[in-house]
Amino acid sequence: MKMLKRVGIFPVDQESITLFENIHECRYGEIMHIASIKAWGLCGKKIQRCDGSEIIIEEGIGNIIKECEVLILLESWHDASPEYIKSVVKTAKQKSITIVSINNIRNSLEIDQHYENVVVAKKLKIQKKCDDLRVRKINIPVICVLGLTQNSGKLKMELELQKCLKQKGYKVAAIVSGLNGLIGKDTFCFEKKYLNGKNRNEEIIININAAVKRLEQDYDIVIVGIPGACLSFNPQYSNDFGITTQLFMCAIEPDYSVLMLPYMRYEEAFISHVKDEVQKRYDITINDIGISEFAIDMDASFEQKKMCFLKLIDKERDFEHLKKISVVDIKSDSQIEKLSDRIIWTLEN
């Protein structure tokens, strides 16, 4: 049996924590250590993983350097000083540790001799030029998971649905975003250069369509997590005003859509309004509403002039006040199981 390489991941931020709750291995090996930067306030935090084990967010890369063979740099390294990240990479290089960056770190840090072994994380392959410049019908069911805001629980919903549907005997691919390309077999992410504003919208749409179309050869179902927020509350917050969502909806025609909302004690009228607005704006049907484990931190959002979130500690929330609208609590395994049953029923009827 082939031994898995020991993997360390740095720097962990709030948005990446959900990933480590759901996996203990990645395509590069077994995740042994995860570390953050002291000023970010996460060091010492225990993360409960889906297999019942715990992993603690460490301060700095000391244990990674001592015990790991692979260092994965998350996109959050952008929020640290370039000098600090350069010192991290230099130290890892001296110890002959393989360095993997989620996006191409070379250009961003003005590559020097310390970066010879940097490897860019594997991405979902997209041709730079498609021979067939048409949006083609995808011949397997496509499930879309949209988020009203950032941190709306899309990743967790995708992974939980993928797990449930696999247990029912389906071959399921999940397309996620950003650092989640670390996850191994059956999970993919788009390379950012194919989705950014340097390409014309038509090219982006064709790229997305071609990539999803390619997966139909090997899978029964594709789950697509739509990057960014589909609605914005205020222009000052760091949402993309739904542009990315619009491009994805032009590229793929969802057979089932789940809209994720941050946690709040919503009134039914608000949920109905949001659902109608998303359906009208993107010309899709929202089949289910999911509720995230994150809530909007209003005080921090106003203070920092960007959307900030708090992760809720309670196990499950009470939504009994919702009489006419049903929602799926991301923290309830039974509700996600029932959602997967509804998806199968809808796809088969």
Side-chain half-sphere CA neighbours of 241 within 13 A: 4
> Angle, to 10 degrees, between the axis of helix 333-348 and the axis of helix 154-167?
70
Q: Give φ, ψ of 10 to 5 degrees.
A: -155, 150
- 11-59 tens-digit pLDDT: 888 767 767 776 667 777 888 899 998 888 889 988 877 666 788 999 9
* pTM attached to this predicted model: 0.70
Cα–Cα distance, 16 to 241 (Å, whole number):
22
More confident residue, 254 or 93: 254
Cα–Cα distance, 286 to 230 (Å, whole number):
13
Q: For residue 107, what pLDDT band results from cuts at 50, 70 and 90?
A: very low
Task: Show the domains of the chain with their CATH numbers.
Answer: 6-120 (3.40.50.720), 142-348 (3.40.50.300)
Q: For residue 265, what pLDDT band results from cuts at 50, 70 and 90?
A: confident
More confident residue, 3 or 11: 11
Question: Is pLDDT above 90 for 220?
Answer: yes
- In this prediction, what percent of the chain has a pLDDT beyond 70? 71
DSSP-assigned letter for residue 140: S
Q: Give φ, ψ of 74 to 5 degrees.
A: -75, 165
Cα–Cα distance, 113 to 125 (Å, whole number):
28
